[in-house]
Amino acid sequence: MLFNWIFSPTYYSQSLDVLETSINQVTAYHKWQTYDPGREYPVDTRYTAMPALKKIDIRNNFPDGFVPAGRDVRRALENREIGLASTSGSSDISVTNIWNQKWWDASEKASWKLNSYASKIATGNHPEAILANPLNVGFVSDAIDLSIDERRTSRFLFLNEKTNPATWSPELMDRMINELEIFKPVIFEANPSLLAKLCRYAADNKRQVFQPGLIVLTYEFPTKLHYRQFRKVFDIPIASSYGTTETGYVFIQCEEGKFHQNSEFCRVDFQPLKPEHGGPFVGRILVTTFNNPWYYIVRFDVRDLVHIDEEGNCPCGRNCGIILSAIEGREISTTLTCEGRLVTLHELDNALSVLDGIDEYRLEQLSGKAYVLHLVSQRSDRNILTEEASGLLKGVYGEESKVSVIYEKALSPEDSGKYSVAKTLFPINIENYLD
């Protein structure tokens, strides 16, 4: 199926320049020359012919394999022109990446143009509070509490230094709420699961919380349950931002709720799933970065699924680049029905979002027909809740599915520092489901 996406001439010239430089000057891509149909073909055709870059490829060719000939990585590291950054390994394996702060900041700044609230208040010098697991960003200190000065850097305040949010004390959450009032951030960047936990505490204790100009969600998939908890505390615009350490800022949600491609700084290739699994509008994306002379990332498999906007345009008026109606979630968060149909995290979340009185959930698929739902809830009618949840899951996975519900006091994050909302305990190769 052809999508009528609109791209600027610069987008195609950047795509061509990155491809030519990569296959001719960047050693990690030299073998890709054999896939190239030739310069006489359109650039989109040439990209489609190329393989996908995997994290294992980055590990095997790092660092010199991703910079053009003539650039000295070690000298640039010594001069602090670039640095190194490790990913959390939430998808398959952790890798180390070349970190170009100037490029990252420019990518973020370009993404602000795609949301009217961010474009008005984000100056690049604005104060910003960040609520995240310090394993992902910030300062780790589980043994002792850090002072506000020890958690500040430049214009940022990191609210949390603890690696397991399940252990947060009331005193720690009171400190976070108080520091928001003191710091008065213009933008509040937050991990959805952590922000939801803070919001539950604030709502339960009737705490008034400072209202910044915009909340930007990142690091994880925000569920509808999360949004319900946000809205008990915050009455301000919320936008979800999508990107990775390797690719920078790829999509950002506009004020109308759709996701727009940051086409100044990346190319996105879409590969639809087979129709029986959600195609042609649901599929995976491969991302190519622009404007980073120190790190050539081409057709990187970010291992996420997206939903192409079927209208192809947005009321916000920004119709250049790919437009998404939803981020469907990580590939590792997909599950299977009893008949083998792929279920994205977005579909699962839509089904479970009708449950009332739920704090957190995590679904684990043990085998082809066995599912375990972990719930955190204050409801006393657990027999009724169990029946409701089981019925919803059977509606998604099939009446023959065997559903167990386990109640937890709290859920802890994965080793990566991020929360898993759904996963299978057996491997799923998404290549088998692509059209």
Q: Give me the CATH number covering residue 125.
A: 3.40.50.12780
Same domain membership, residue 243 and residue 100:
yes
Same domain membership, residue 270 and residue 343:
no
Assigned domain for 120 exists: yes
What local confidence, expressed as pLDDT, does residue 374 receive? 98
Assigned domain for 3 exists: no
| Total count of domains within the chain | 2
Assigned domain for 1 exists: no
Contact 330, 56 (CB under 8 A): no
Give the tens place of pLDDT for each residue, 357-400.
999 999 999 999 999 999 999 999 999 999 999 999 999 999 99
222-250 in b/e form (b: 16+ CB < 10 A) is bbebbeebbeebbeebbbbbbbbebbbbb
CA-closest candidate to residue 247, choices 259, 229, 265: 265
CA-closest candidate to residue 109, choices 100, 101, 119: 119
Same domain membership, residue 345 and residue 326:
no
CA-closest candidate to residue 12, choices 48, 42, 51, 53: 42
Of the pLDDT bands very low, low, confident and very high (cuts 50, 70, 90), residue 92 is low
- Going by their DSSP bridges, the two strands 323-330 and 259-261 should be labelled as antiparallel
Q: Note the pTM of the prediction, 2 decimals.
A: 0.95
DSSP calls for 242-299: EEETTTEEEEEE-TTS-EEE-TTTEEEEEEEBPGGGTTTTEEEEEEEE-S-TT----S
What is the C-alpha to C-alpha distance for residues 119 and 128, in angstroms, rounded to an integer?
A: 15
Same domain membership, residue 260 and residue 312:
yes
Select from 300, 331, 362 the last residue of a domain. Answer: 331
Dihedral of CA 99/271/323/186: which sign?
negative
1 pLDDT more than 70: no
Select from 288, 310, 331 the last residue of a domain. Answer: 331
What local confidence, expressed as pLDDT, does residue 183 receive? 97
Same domain membership, residue 62 and residue 78:
yes
What local confidence, expressed as pLDDT, does residue 93 receive? 72
Give the tens place of pLDDT for each residue, 205-259.
999 999 999 999 999 999 999 999 999 999 999 999 999 999 999 999 999 999 9
Across the chain, mean pLDDT equals 96
Same domain membership, residue 365 and residue 242:
no
Same domain membership, residue 350 and residue 205:
no
- Going by their DSSP bridges, the two strands 282-289 and 266-272 should be labelled as antiparallel
Assigned domain for 111 exists: yes
Select from 331, 350, 380 the last residue of a domain. Answer: 331
Assigned domain for 4 exists: no
What local confidence, expressed as pLDDT, does residue 4 receive? 85
Assigned domain for 2 exists: no
Same domain membership, residue 139 and residue 45:
yes
199 pLDDT more than 90: yes
Assigned domain for 158 exists: yes
Assigned domain for 290 exists: yes
What is the C-alpha to C-alpha distance for residues 215 and 141, in angstroms, rounded to an integer?
A: 25
What local confidence, expressed as pLDDT, does residue 88 receive? 63
The residue-averaged pLDDT of 35-57 equals: 97
Same domain membership, residue 54 and residue 183:
yes
91 pLDDT more than 90: no
What local confidence, expressed as pLDDT, does residue 86 receive? 85
Give the tens place of pLDDT for each residue, 50-88.
999 999 999 999 999 999 999 999 999 999 999 999 886
Give the tens place of pLDDT for each residue, 313-344.
999 999 999 999 999 999 999 999 999 999 99
Same domain membership, residue 72 and residue 125:
yes
- Domain interval for residue 319: 9-331
Give the tens place of pLDDT for each residue, 102-116.
999 999 999 999 999
Same domain membership, residue 243 and residue 350:
no
Same domain membership, residue 162 and residue 202:
yes
2 pLDDT more than 90: no
Which CATH number covers residue 363? 3.30.300.30
CA-closest candidate to residue 419, choices 215, 256, 197: 197
